[in-house]
Amino acid sequence: MASRKKDDAGRRPVVAVIGGGFSGLLTAIHLLQGDPSVVVRLVERAPRFGRGRAYSALHADHVLNVRAANMSAFPDRPGHFVEWLAAEGEAAGPDAFVSRSRYGDYLQALLREEIVDPDAAGRLLLEADEAVSLISQDGGWRVELALGRAFRADACVLAVGLLPPAPLPGADETVDAAAGYVAEPWRLDPATAPEGDVLLLGSGLTMVDVALSLAGQGRRLLAVSRHGLVSRGHGAVRPAAAPQGGFATPVEALRTLRRLARSADWRGAVDAIRPITADIWRGWPPAERRRFLRHARPWWEVHRHRMAPAVATRVASLAASGELTVAAGKLERLSWDGAGFHARIRGRGETKPHDWRFDVVINCTGPRGDPETAAAGLLADLRRRRAIRRDPLGLGLDVTDELQVVGADGKPTAGLFAVGPLTRAAVWEALAVPDLRNQTAQAARAVLSNLAAAG
Ligand SMILES: Cc1cc2nc3c(=O)[nH]c(=O)nc-3n(C[C@H](O)[C@H](O)[C@H](O)COP(=O)(O)OP(=O)(O)OC[C@H]3O[C@@H](n4cnc5c(N)ncnc54)[C@H](O)[C@@H]3O)c2cc1C
């Protein structure tokens, strides 16, 4: 990558990366390594840089759902995470599922390396604050921070992760104020959660995290989701040959997957299409993508996002002992009377709903991406300024193939890029590290060539 020279005033180009989780940190590293003249200002509102929502976990049961061998932060150094673990004196091999907190240590070690790297000296500035406003100004951006400071950037990258879960449908105004209601499950502290029976809304990996945190406390845990599906576990994989065609619609894709699964196994079939998932997604017209989201997404996700084997065993034993029940159904009404929650739930296929009482209710429906739902904060500000717009499916931001954000007028917003799960409408797979490590490198390349073209 050709480096952009300092401008006439001797100023180095500045890129503001907003959000210091996996996506922001790795984008920053690729920017610094890709151009020796660029300065990166990495803005993070949480106390620790590099960890984000996923890798701030403290509970030892919260382990990665991907084998160590596939968790390198760098696309061109596949063994990097395993080598780091070995250098740290850990016995964990490539097939291990290490804790998410340990992975957070790895990310912070990458940050430390960058800070002390003489090639990056003075070029990585950590801004411990929240970006509240990005204002387009003089061909660049004015980045305003919550504590009142502001700085100028030539380009900005949004790496802000997803938004908190949606409010529970059917919940009345008493619920939000209740001490036993947990709107953001990642903030749950099992030691201080009110005692008693728990209703978990959602049955995905977030629910699994929460159930493991609360297990063994003598509680009854009921998890309810539309289909009542729980992620499958990792296991031995019989690899399938890469499929040739047969993905023109979600229905056709399902047929192809079933055929592959017969020749290998379901894990091998799903793994075989991972490298071409983005192409398949891009090949579907919006109506087919919508059909996939409506009908096939829950099944795809439980096969695609698997639990570590030890986690799957624990979940099975919680279910066998009756401590955890997972049901398919719909929450129709939820209220709090000052002492407990009243939940009306209709089981899938049932005509009559049932009334239940719980002491704790935890929203495990998962983070969402639709920027229209952001009532406050940076995305709401950018929406008001017409610098961003939601993608047609409401999964996140509308972005170009080069990850440039599309504004309300349908044109790319100059100097504004996005990376991470908010871009998933463009590629579908923009959630796990094996996808994001490629995307962060791609985002940095796009920003640098944009700066080079402008300079
Ligand atoms: C619980 C959980 C477990 C996961 N486990 C795995 C796994 O085992 N393996 C795997 O491959 N993937 C896993 N993933 C998926 C994936 O790794 C993450 O989604 C990924 O880390 C996303 O990183 P991110 O930086 O895009 O977003 P985030 O991690 O959400 O980080 C965004 C950061 O931006 C900051 N921020 C937001 N707005 C502002 C603002 N205005 N100003 C300043 N800072 C701001 C936030 O504080 C946050 O730190 C998991 C995800 C979750 C949620």
DSSP single-letter state for residue 315: H
| ∠ CA 386-392-394, rounded to 5° | 85
Q: From the alpha carbon of 24, which atom of ligand 1 is closest?
A: 25
Same fold yes or no, 14-163+369-454 and 173-231+307-363: yes
Fold classification of 14-163+369-454 (topology level): FAD/NAD(P)-binding domain (3.50.50)
Q: From the alpha carbon of 377, which atom of ligand 1 is closest?
A: 41
Mutate to test the pocket of ligand 1, among 17, 18, 22, 437 (most ligand atoms within 8 A of CB): 22
Residue identifier of the C-alpha nearest atom 21 of ligand 1: 22
Partner residues linked to 345 by β-bridges: 331, 354
Count of residues for the chain?
455
Residuewise pLDDT in 10s, the chain (455 residues): 445 555 555 689 999 999 999 999 999 999 999 999 999 999 999 999 999 999 997 777 899 999 999 999 999 999 999 999 999 998 888 999 999 999 999 999 999 999 999 998 899 999 999 999 999 999 999 999 999 999 999 999 999 999 999 999 999 999 999 999 999 998 888 888 889 999 999 999 999 999 999 999 999 999 999 999 999 999 888 888 878 888 999 999 999 988 888 888 889 888 888 888 999 999 999 999 999 999 999 999 999 899 999 999 999 999 999 999 999 999 999 999 999 999 999 999 999 999 999 999 999 999 999 999 998 999 999 999 999 999 999 999 999 999 999 999 999 999 999 999 999 999 998 999 999 999 999 999 999 999 999 87
- Ligand 1 site, residue 188, Cβ cutoff 6 A: no
- Ligand 1 site, residue 165, Cβ cutoff 6 A: no
Query: Smallest Cα–Cα separation from 415: which of 452, 370, 389, 371?
Result: 452
- Ligand 1 site, residue 54, Cβ cutoff 6 A: yes
Q: From the alpha carbon of 25, which atom of ligand 1 is closest?
A: 25
**Is the domain 173-231+307-363 a CATH 3.40.50.2300 member?**
no
Residue identifier of the C-alpha nearest atom 49 of ligand 1: 52
Give the model's pLDDT for residue 1.
Answer: 47
Å from CA of 430 to ligand 1 middle: 11
Å from CA of 245 to ligand 1 middle: 33
- Give the C-alpha distances (Å, rounded to integers) separating 443 from 7, 55, 225, 262: 23, 22, 35, 38
The per-residue b/e assignment along 273-292, b for 16 or more CB within 10 angstroms, e otherwise, is beeebbebbeebeeebbebb
Contact 185, 362 (CB under 8 A): yes
Could you give the 3-state DSSP secondary structure of residue 417?
strand
Exposed / middle / buried, residue 387 (Cβ in 10 Å: 0-12, 13-18, 19+): buried
- Ligand 1 site, residue 46, Cβ cutoff 6 A: yes
For residue 416, report the phi and psi dihedrals to the nearest 5 degrees: -125, 120
**E strand or H helix at 106:** helix 100-116
Residues 6+ apart with CB under 8 A from 63: 97, 98, 99, 100, 308, 310, 311
- d(C-alpha 173, C-alpha 171), whole Å: 7
Classify the C-alpha dihedral 82-86-90-93 as positive or negative: positive
Classify the C-alpha dihedral 267-269-275-279 as positive or negative: negative
Å from CA of 133 to ligand 1 middle: 20
Residue identifier of the C-alpha nearest atom 10 of ligand 1: 432
Residue identifier of the C-alpha nearest atom 52 of ligand 1: 54
Q: From the alpha carbon of 435, which atom of ligand 1 is closest?
A: 11
Model-level pTM?
Answer: 0.94
Å from CA of 192 to ligand 1 middle: 24
Contact 395, 383 (CB under 8 A): no
What are the extents of the domains in the chain? 14-163+369-454, 173-231+307-363, 250-304
- Ligand 1 site, residue 252, Cβ cutoff 6 A: no
- Ligand 1 site, residue 423, Cβ cutoff 6 A: no
Positions of E strands within 252-367: 324-336, 341-347, 354-358, 360-363
DSSP codes joined into one string, 191-213: TTSPSS-EEEE--SHHHHHHHHH
Query: Smallest Cα–Cα separation from 195: which of 228, 221, 165?
Result: 221
Mutate to test the pocket of ligand 1, among 17, 23, 129 (most ligand atoms within 8 A of CB): 23
